[in-house]
């Protein structure tokens, strides 16, 4: 039987994922991002255990993060028969991901303010 070390969220990591959730990042994406920011690499199973998530939640988050080019994956060298596991890691530094999220949120706020101005113009 293969033994695997599992990393679990600390209070600090829970706080960080909650901050991401509070600014509108979906829970599953926030948790996977924080997990990978604090682990050099991980399998989806390790993320499931460490971030207390279900497999479908991790899969959906991975799909989104891959589409954003924020994570990358590679196949593990299979020690046993069967399907090789994927190993995930951040493709860019966590600070760069936060910068991208910040820019996206700034653009969203500008769009919302522009809509409010349009509303005001219709009132007057």
Q: Which domains does the chain have, with CATH numbers?
A: 11-92 (1.10.10.10)
Lowest mean per-residue pLDDT among 9-13, 15-19, 34-38, 100-104: 9-13
Structure tokens at 26: 């979906």
Residue 39, burial from CB neighbour count under 10 angstroms (0-12, 13-18, 19+): middle
Structure tokens at 94: 């966590």
The pLDDT of residue 80 is 63
Measured CA to CA, the distance from residue 89 to residue 40 in angstroms comes to 6
Across the chain, what does the average pLDDT equal?
89
The pLDDT of residue 4 is 56
pLDDT digits (tens, 9 = 90+) for 62-75: 999 999 999 999 98
């Amino acid at each position: 039987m293969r033994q695997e070390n599992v990393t679990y969220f600390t209070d600090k990591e829970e706080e960080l994922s909650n901050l991401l959730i509070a600014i509108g990042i979906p829970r599953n994406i926030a948790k996977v991002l924080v997990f990978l920011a604090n682990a050099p690499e991980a399998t989806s199973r390790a993320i499931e255990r460490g971030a207390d998530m279900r497999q479908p939640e991790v899969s959906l988050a991975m799909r989104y993060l891959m589409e954003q080019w924020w994570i990358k994956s590679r196949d593990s060298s299979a020690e046993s028969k069967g399907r090789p596991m994927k190993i995930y890691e951040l493709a860019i530094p966590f600070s760069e991901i936060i910068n991208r999220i910040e820019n996206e949120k700034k653009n969203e706020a500008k769009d919302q303010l522009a809509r409010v101005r349009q509303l005001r113009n219709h009132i007057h």
